[in-house]
Amino acid sequence: MSTFHYENDRLMVENLPVEEIVAKEGSPLYIYSREALVERISSYREAFSAHPTLVAYAMKANGNLAILSLLGQEGAGIDVVSGGELFRARKAGIPGNKIVFAGVGKTEEEIAYALKEGILMFNVESQAELDHISAVAVRMGTKAPVALRVNPDVDPKTHPYISTGMKKSKFGIPVDVAVAEYRRASTLPGIRIVGIHQHIGSQLTEIAPFRDAFERLLAFHGELRKAGIKVTHLDLGGGLGIRYRNEAPPSPKDLADLVLPRVGDLGVTLVLEPGRSIVGNAGILVTRVLYRKQTAVKTFFIGDAGMNDLLRPSLYGAHHDLLPVLRSVRPEVKGDLVGPICETGDFLATDREMPDFAAGDLIAVMSAGAYGFSMASNYNARPRPAEVLVDGNTYRVIRDRESFEDLVRGERI
């Protein structure tokens, strides 16, 4: 049985009716399934069980402390991209030696903080950053563990905004100069080389880009060995896609079948950085229809959730399936599900065939567990939604709904 399913025309999350949760906690509301989260992290752990592997969940997808703690209890590490994310990871109980720090703009304060917390490694994005990390480490009387992010120039065949491994990308060090940069890194007084990192993009729905990038990573690893530079970790990044509409992305097992036969004799620990594929289909956003508006050319359903709650449709033109929380027989219409934000780009779905909703109806915006709340804002002075985690036939609030007072906290007149 699917985590999200209908029973007697009521949408369920595990064993709980969605409308009963919303009746108590209000809308808009993010709802996550513990069962789905555990199943997804387990699928990675089991697929790669034959080789030493750290599954470092990419927190940018969803950084709720309860979710981080749950994944940590399931053996996951964390991939962070800021000092704030590092703080959240440590607050959730993730050990420093299971944290990988990526991102192109690490500040001196963030580098020092990460060194104090004893992280597994920095994924270094540029020559200038490498020098900066070395200088901070020298001042602190230590050496920073690093992997250089090698840009393999592989087209991941995904949305250009989430493609990260091509020459024109801001991420990583070009593969044709990376060996020289590793040689230089080996001479820097504050650097300890521990790995190689690559990440080519997000929401990848084909195995071919992974295969191409992995082949280049293996070839590069061979070049490093010839240069006398040994590494203990190969960080393959993340990027496995999920089903939003009709995609059929590779599974963790597909990735393991590609990778494991080739790394057995390399003497390295693998690092994986899945994010979306862990949390994406483990969560939904529920919105209540406020008004049905008919114009000469359009049918609009105006909900209480907007682009400030779920930015992906406005930012990427992303598709999220829409399901009625209470299913009934009603005609289908082509319409737009829009929000209350004062922007024309404020929509969750456009020109979509959907039930002819009425004011008061609840709509579940599916596959909203990743890059949903984590990208939410207070634009138009709108408090952010609550988040709840369902476990069987119970749930708990894992983030309170913001109040108006929260909106002005820390401000001064």
Partners of 53 in the β-ladder: 270
pLDDT at 82 over 90: yes
Calculate the average pLDDT of the chain.
93
> Using CA of residue 136, residue 140, residue 143, residue 147, what is the dihedral sign?
negative
Annotated catalytic sites, by residue? 342
CATH superfamily placement of domain 34-276: Alanine racemase (3.20.20.10)
pLDDT at 168 over 60: no
pLDDT at 279 over 90: yes
Please give the average per-residue pLDDT across 172-176, as a whole number: 80
Q: pLDDT grade, residue 201 (50/70/90)?
A: confident
What phi and psi values does residue 176 have, to the nearest 5 degrees?
-75, -15
The count of C-alpha atoms lying within 13 angstroms of the C-alpha of 140, restricted to the half-sphere facing its C-beta, is: 21
What was the pLDDT predicted at 212? 87
pLDDT at 159 over 50: no
Parse the chain into domains and list their residue ranges.
4-32+280-408, 34-276
The model carries a pTM of 0.93
pLDDT at 170 over 90: no
What was the pLDDT predicted at 160? 44
Residue type, 190: G
What was the pLDDT predicted at 173? 84
pLDDT at 291 over 80: yes
| More confidently predicted of 228 and 165 | 228
Q: CA-to-CA distance for 216 and 254, rounded, in angstroms?
A: 18
Tokens of 183: 């040689």
Please give the average per-residue pLDDT across 238-244, as a whole number: 90
User: Topology of domain 4-32+280-408, per CATH?
Assistant: Lyase, Ornithine Decarboxylase; Chain A, domain 1 (2.40.37)
Please give the average per-residue pLDDT across 347-359, as a whole number: 96
Q: What percent of the chain clears pLDDT 90, i.e. is strictly above it? A: 84
Place of tokens 């988040």: 387
What was the pLDDT predicted at 1? 57
pLDDT per residue as tens digits for the range 294-306: 999 999 999 999 9
Please give the average per-residue pLDDT across 280-309, as a whole number: 97
pLDDT at 156 over 60: no
> With contact defined as beta carbons under 8 Å apart, do 27 and 305 qualify?
yes
pLDDT at 153 over 80: no
What was the pLDDT predicted at 162? 38
Q: pLDDT grade, residue 239 (50/70/90)?
A: confident
What was the pLDDT predicted at 161? 39
